[in-house]
A = this chain, B = another copy of it.
């Protein structure tokens, strides 16, 4: 007996196979039961005709319940009406695991209920599509950096210090000493860029922010490339290339999933180089013209990002943010130190910031002054300062938030659907 999967079904036309999966829907019309079977790799219609089966088996099939796990033996038949081109003419069915009163039914469920049942909700067609795209985007990102010679490395999760103050950090008792869960691997990325030239880290990062917005998770995945000798211009180009690569591959390889999500394909097709590039000062002026009340040299709020990105049909790069709002390690523009060699990429359609990065300050003296100015504990950054004591170089990089990127690509409202088990302000289960 050929055990196979729905994804591979085309290779078995007119052959008898066994599929194993879960029953998602059932419909009966007198002498025929139509069963929708999903096995994780796809969904197929299985047709159980009374004329082909014993009366006992045909009757049993009538009692099968949603999300029962089944082994279905049958013959693969080409069928033009099928989305996958095939259906299965059932010869035998055995129940592997029963399912009584599956909680997620065809009726509307509230988000709280669905999140409580996240371990089951991920079986639904829509969540399957989102998380499949998430998995593939992760792979596209890795392949992109590998093909450009960036070495895959890992920054530590336990970090003794923080780049930007400790108020949004999760502290952990590390055998009597307080450490924090990382918010960014960047400082470590710089050390590794000086050993390997070009590196990327891709791991979970943590923010203990008391925010309950549709864009915030306490635990999210971030890819952070860093390259020695890279300039801000090269950094912008790299991030632009990455986003074009992601959308191009999603459009080529995730069509089925985008259809399920009813994603506007044309919006993704517009993600082509070059992205509009705006100096912060110009973006600021435009925002004020558009009615924003953004203060001088202030960071963009979510509302500002929405207003601004609605002016364009593709992601935009805002660069040279005011130095005052940026972290201590951000390099100032030598020609106008009011602004920094920083950049953000804002996704279109109101999705806001998905990339933030820039060039790092390479002068030891400037960096020491910045640490003092930010009142950060100098001792914690002694190792980081060593990167300037011993063969300092220009260095640049960025961080791309995976979940916000997936939300944008999938065209979904809330980041909670973009990660298998989201951790939010009031949600750490299941």
Which residues of chain B come closer than 8 Å to A139, judged between CB atoms?
142, 146, 152
Q: Which of B193, B203, B204 is close to A40, meaning CB atoms less than 8 Å apart?
A: B193
CA distance A429 to B382 in the complex (A): 11
Copies in the complex: 2
Which residues of chain B come closer than 8 Å to A172, judged between CB atoms?
170-172, 181
Which residues of chain B come closer than 8 Å to A171, judged between CB atoms?
172-173
CA distance A362 to B99 in the complex (A): 13
Q: Is the CB of A423 within 8 A of B156?
A: yes
Q: A7-B149, A156-B219, A204-B203 are in contact. Are A194 and B123 (CB under 8 A)?
A: yes
Q: Is the CB of A67 within 8 A of B196?
A: no
Per DSSP, chain A at the interface is: mixed
A363 to chain B, nearest CB (A): 9
Where the two chains meet, the residues of A that have a C-beta atom closer than 8 Å to any C-beta of B are 3, 5, 7, 20-23, 39-41, 67-69, 96-100, 102-103, 117, 119-120, 122-123, 127-128, 131-132, 134-136, 138-139, 142, 146, 149, 151-158, 160, 170-175, 177, 179, 181, 188, 191-198, 203-204, 206, 208, 210, 218-219, 221, 228-229, 362, 383-384, 386-394, 419-421, 423, 425-426, 428-430
User: Can you list 5 A-B pairs, Cβ within 8 angstroms, ordered by A?
Assistant: A7-B149, A99-B390, A136-B152, A139-B142, A174-B218
Known: A39-B197, A67-B390, A97-B393; 17 extra A-B contacts, CB below 8 A, are A40-B196, A40-B197, A41-B196, A98-B391, A99-B389, A119-B386, A119-B387, A120-B386, A123-B195, A132-B151, A132-B196, A136-B152, A157-B423, A172-B172, A174-B218, A174-B428, A175-B425
